[in-house]
Amino acid sequence: DNPVDKQELAELIAVLSSAVDRGDRDRIASCYTEDSFDDHGTFKGSGEEFADFVCGPGPMSSMHHLIGQSIFDVDVDGDEAWGETFYVFHGTVGTTQVTGHGRYIDYFRCTGGSWKLAYRRVVPESVPAGDDAGAYWRPTRDCDDPAYDRLRAPDGDGPERRGARSTKTG
């Protein structure tokens, strides 16, 4: 794996988190491929639609993502990568503080010389109060966890690693 690619992927994750926390629609959208899909539990749609969702009117008055360690696996051709990034989320809904933590399971493509997010799945260990835990991908402590399946799209396109196939709760 090329360490420069991994640094660029880490920067992409950081830029996206910062843009979400600041409500910067254009920066959010710029992190995704044109044919992207983001599965954020109760929100499912393209990167553009996710940017609109995050920046549109809603109950959240503040957001703060703390990004932890990331593990990236860049393919041998250097044009695809998978990643697992740990996060802690804090937010404010009205006067109520909410928190959650978990992982982002991401598939990236290098297009036009830049890494972009093509498919994101949020795999929480804990969701903010009032959120629907059943709408998210389920974490497991074995090879059935979404970190192993290497999905490239929500329809299951892509080779499964170690035969694992993740399922959602609910």
The pLDDT of residue 58: 87
Radius of gyration of the chain (CA): 15
Position 154 pLDDT exceeds 50:
yes
Three-class HEC string of 128-147:
CCCCCHHHCECCCCCCCCHH
Q: Read off the tokens for 137.
A: 């991908």
160 vs 136, higher pLDDT: 136
**Cβ distance 78 to 5 under 8 Å?**
yes
The pLDDT of residue 12: 98
* Mean pLDDT, range 118-140, rounded to an integer: 95
The pLDDT of residue 15: 98
Average pLDDT in the chain: 91
* Mean pLDDT, range 118-143, rounded to an integer: 95
The pLDDT of residue 156: 63
Q: What is the pLDDT of residues 39-95, one digit of tens each?
A: 999 999 999 999 999 999 988 899 999 999 999 999 999 999 999 999 999 999 989
- The Cβ-side half-sphere exposure at 105, using a 13 Å CA radius, reads 22
The pLDDT of residue 33: 98
